[in-house]
Amino acid sequence: MALVRRWQVALLGMTGLGAAAFGLIRANRLPRRRASSDISPPARGETTLSRVAQERAARHPGLSGVHLVPDAVDAFAARLLLVKAAERTIDLQYYIWHGDRTGTLLLEAVHEAAQRGVRVRLLLDDNGIAGLDGVLAALNAHRNIEVRLFNPFRIRYPKAIGFLVDFGRLNRRMHNKSFTVDGAVTIVGGRNIGDEYFGAGDGALFADLDVVAIGPVAREVEADFERYWTSESAYPARQILPILGRRKRAKLRSRASVVESDASARRYVERLRSLPLVQDVVEGSLTFEWAEVRMISDDPAKVVRDIEYRNLLAGKLDGAIGRPQREMTIVSGYFVPGEQGTRQLADYARSGVKVTVLTNGYSATDVALVHAGYAPWRKRLLRAGVRLFETAAEVRGVPSKKQRRQGNRLGIGSRLRPTGSGSFAALRSGAATIHAKTITADRERLFVGSFNFDPRSLRLNTELGFVIYSAALAGQVADAFETIVPDAAYEVTLDAQDRLHWTSEQRSAAREPGLGLFDSLLIGFASRLPISWLL
């Protein structure tokens, strides 16, 4: 999730290096936000995407069509295809946008869309666009593109100084992810924009889950984008970024060309063309599950003031997904339940609900500090009857084809890579990090979105997601906990002496996998610090 670099935030919080300590808030004061009038509203009228979406939705009154996208490469292909198909509008809202292979390819596709007259709006959290100030400024100079930065840093480099002088404001971020084209088709889920989310990098690969949606919920996402776009925390880029022009735009085009000519990037782009998803989209045969879908999100004002629980995404999620009666599954790469979440899950388990959680183990997490927030709650959850599974950065086993299919539905199947013998190694080192955020209740209701089960998603960051009322989809995700998860992760249990134990298909361990002595001391120390609210 690459939040506000959690080790950094925690250390700043511990040492009290905030704005009040230095009295430097005035030096970091933002300019007064002005309404934007740089680009004109697009001409009204039907587009190919809106026509197809309307025709398909008309056969399912009141329902939305949803298609789960667990595969990393499919997830990128879907976005690229939508940009290329855009005729009227492209509205993109993201927490992180990297300037790597996939990030650059998408920006160039967006630029090409603007060249043919599509109105493009980019709403990006300012904490997740490292190194892109010049590129974004150049795009913003285009007559059909506008960039806004959410909760921006006034000091551009190094940005970390901003935390020192204005920690209270900058510690709250926009964690939403949405990708909407022509107001008709949207992609919502856990993925940011970057190689690690799309299977295009040489390093870690994040397992994640997105939803492509059409119908009423797509229009709700578009309306929610508008709410954030016009909020007091969304600043026109021209007020924050340097003013650049044609030379930088030419550099952007050249940069994308270099990416496409790079051998590894070329193989990736070639791979996109052969995907079944591409053909399905081109032919209009992409399958959708038609169901009632409720979009829930935080008020953008959450970054400037505290909001009542019932008005937070978490409060809305409680109401939308309801209290489970039989079973509940949670997939959360950054699982920090805290007192409130632990009590809630323990109560469910004691009342007879089968509660199962999958999260990253220490060796698989990309944010070590999160483990310090999670580890202290394990015993209390286990004593109440909650089942815990943790991924690990090592080969777990050889899942069957059925298990691989069910793993894909869960959002971890993209971690499986074929070996020379045609078998599959699960959750390999460097490809073991869960980034998906899903919840199922009673095999009837499914949540997919950006919300992590942690205090930061609860109180600090804004979030967005779908609650899908579909027994078919919820059941598919829940089934994975009976098949692929036991093979792909350790189950954490308590022995007769109330000590933690880790068990997988291949081994059993009395010590936490991947946690060395130094790591153990560090995590133990961090878990005792009063920083859980930052995690």
Give the active site residues: 175, 177, 182, 435, 437, 442
d(CA 8, CA 5): 5
Neighbours of 307 (CB within 10 A): 17
Query: What per-residue string of b and e applies to 310-329 under the rule 16 or more CB within 10 Å gives b?
Result: eebbbbbbeebbeebeebbb
d(CA 465, CA 483): 26
d(CA 66, CA 186): 10
Q: For the chain, count helices (H), then strands (E).
A: 21, 22
358 token code pair? 């999958």
Q: Identify the three-state secondary structure at position 104.
A: helix
> What residues form DSSP beta bridges with 440?
329, 446
How large is the greatest C-alpha to C-alpha distance in the chain, in angstroms? Answer: 70
Contact yes or no for 377/492 (Cβ under 8 A) = no
Q: Which amino acid is at 387?
A: R
- Helical (H) or strand (E) element with 252: helix 246-261
Whether the link from the prior residue into 455 is cis, omega within 30° of 0, is no
